Amino acid sequence: MNPTEIYRTWVEVSFDALRSNLAWIRHRVGPRVKILAVVKADAYGHGLPQIAGALMHGGVDVFGVATLNEALGVRAVGAGWPILLLGCSLPAEVETAVRHNVMPTISSLDEARRFQRAAARQQKTLAVHVKVDTGMGRLGFWHAEAADAIRRIAAMPNLRLQGAYTHFPSAEDDAAFSLEQVERFRAVVRKAGVQIPLRHADNSAGVLNVHARGRRFGSLFNVVRPGLMMYGIVPPGLPPVPALQPTLSFKSRVLLVKRIAAGRSVSYGRTFVARQSMRVAIVGAGYGDGYSRDLSNRGEVLIRGHRCPVLGRVTMDQTIVDVSDARFRNLRAGEEVVLVGKQGHDCITAVELATRAGTIPWEAMTSITKRVPRVYTGAAT
């Protein structure tokens, strides 16, 4: 018996695709560049412990997370791996971060002093990364003041300056501005005049759209931070990369097939009214599973390798789709429905799903809820 037969909605994650994507990234950036794998938000909805374990075997160098809890989740999988906390640390988290050797991102001298005091109390030297704001306008020291801050942090006796980095806000559609950011960052590194072992800027879009153009910057950057592309998804606005394989499929099952007469309405708000007699299938996934309500009357699913339009509003636990076509004449409860992924000769990508929902693939993937079981295929090692 196929274990997924007991699930009405589930996610399938391919370790083989993940490993293939990581190999492609390694080839793209070259052997001298370290890979910082971004596994925040439950590894983009794929499952943090499982993905972290597979990536450890796959040979990543550093893990990137958004919260201390995520860092501790990675630490529970592998004790010795470098982990960079990409977000700010709350004052109450500092002692725990130091105790577990989580590298914090430093965006202010107050943060640096908190970590210095905690490391001194624990009689440790803590590796830290400094964030430089070159145009994102979020975390980090503004680039005009960053060199002085880096020097001051490097002089703190219980902190070890392990890295400095910046972030691209529009690498997928504005390579010129991204390269201007690179110039600003290079000026900071030169002006700071201290040893910075790890220097990074490239997210997924940066690797695909900026990295090659920035080769004239030589050895300035020696780390990349792939997130979305590691999971086989190319950021919207960039050309497809056939070598990248989606690691996640989002699936459900037909719960019920019924006929509705002309003039009958479907779902909450009566936003769809049948113009003629039709057959519909009730699918066992809704917004409570992460299938967005914004797909109401605009989404499509795959059944038997063919597209079926969503009818009416997506509800918490079910979605109604049109199966009037003759190809579905003998459709039965229990048959597989693909919300994201391939079935037959057709495929609904995460980018397509997100576009139909008026959002981005990052949100579409991370919105798949915890009640949806994750099923892993292929070898993790």
| Domain final residue pick, 183, 198, 230 | 230
Asked if 126 and 191 sit in the same domain, the reply is: yes
d(CA 96, CA 237): 40
> 291 and 147 in one domain?
no
Q: Is residue 10 assigned to a domain? A: no
**Residue 260 domain flag:** yes
Q: Is 146 helix (H, G, I), strand (E, B) or coil?
A: helix
Query: Based on the domain organization, do 83 and 152 belong to the same domain?
Result: yes
- Whole-angstrom Cα distance, residue 169 to residue 133? 11
Domain-located, residue 142: yes
Give the CATH number, domain containing residue 71.
3.20.20.10
Counting Cα atoms < 13 Å in the Cβ hemisphere of 68 gives 15
> pTM for this one?
0.93
What's the pLDDT score for residue 215?
53
Residue 290: count other Cβ atoms within 10 Å of its Cβ. 23
Provide the pairing of β-strand 126-133 with 198-200. Answer: unpaired
C-alpha span between 158 and 164 (Å, rounded): 17
What's the confidence (pLDDT) of residue 209? 83
- pLDDT at residue number 370: 95
User: Alpha-carbon dihedral of residues 236, 240, 245, 246, nearest 10 degrees?
Assistant: 30
128 plus 256 within the same structural domain: no
Helix H, strand E, coil C: the string for 169-217 is: CCCCCCHHHHHHHHHHHHHHHHHHCCCCCEEECCCHHHHHHCCCHHHHH
Angstrom distance (rounded) from CA 268 to CA 315: 8
Which structural domain range is residue 153 located in? 32-230
The answer for residues whose C-beta is within 8 angstroms of residue 147's C-beta and 6 or more apart is 188, 191, 192, 193
Are 141 and 284 in the same domain?
Answer: no
Does residue 47 sit within a domain?
A: yes
Count how many domains the chain has. Answer: 2
Do both 211 and 334 map to the same domain? Answer: no
Domain check: are 111 and 160 in the same one?
Answer: yes
Tokens at residue 10, please? 């589930």
CB distance 92 to 118 below 8 Å = no
Q: Is the dihedral of CA 110, 116, 118, 121 positive or negative?
A: negative
Residue 156 forms part of a structural domain = yes
Determine the pLDDT at residue 1. 60
Note whether residue 27 is domain-resident: no
Shared-domain flag, residues 187 and 321: no
Alpha carbon of residue 118 to chain centroid: 31
- pLDDT tens digit at each of 381 positions of the chain: 676 788 999 999 999 999 999 999 999 999 999 999 999 999 999 999 999 999 999 989 999 999 999 999 999 999 889 999 999 999 999 999 999 999 999 999 999 999 999 999 999 999 999 999 999 999 999 999 999 999 999 999 999 999 999 999 998 888 889 999 999 999 999 999 999 999 999 999 989 987 655 555 557 999 999 999 999 999 998 999 999 999 999 999 999 999 999 999 999 999 999 999 999 999 999 999 999 999 999 999 999 999 999 999 999 999 999 999 999 999 999 999 999 999 999 999 999 999 999 999 999 999 999 999 999 999 877
Active site residues: 40, 268
Task: Please give the Cα distance from 280 to 135 (Å, whole number).
Answer: 50
Whole-number pLDDT of residue 381 = 76
Is 67 inside any structural domain? yes
Determine contact, residues 82/62, Cβ cutoff 8 Å: yes
CA 362 from chain center: how many Å?
Answer: 6
* pLDDT value for 379: 84
Cβ-count burial 153-190 (b if 16+ within 10 Å, e if not): bbebebbbbbbbbbbbbbbbebbebbbebbebbbebbe
Beta strands in the chain (DSSP E): 9-14, 34-38, 62-65, 83-85, 103-106, 126-133, 141-142, 159-165, 198-200, 223-224, 248-260, 265-266, 272-273, 278-283, 300-303, 306-311, 319-322, 336-343, 346-348, 374-377
Angle at 91 between CA 86 and CA 96, to 5 degrees: 75
Structure tokens at 89: 């640390």
Is the domain of 92 the same as that of 198?
A: yes
Say if 309 falls within a structural domain.
Answer: yes
Whether residues 213 and 289 fall in one domain: no
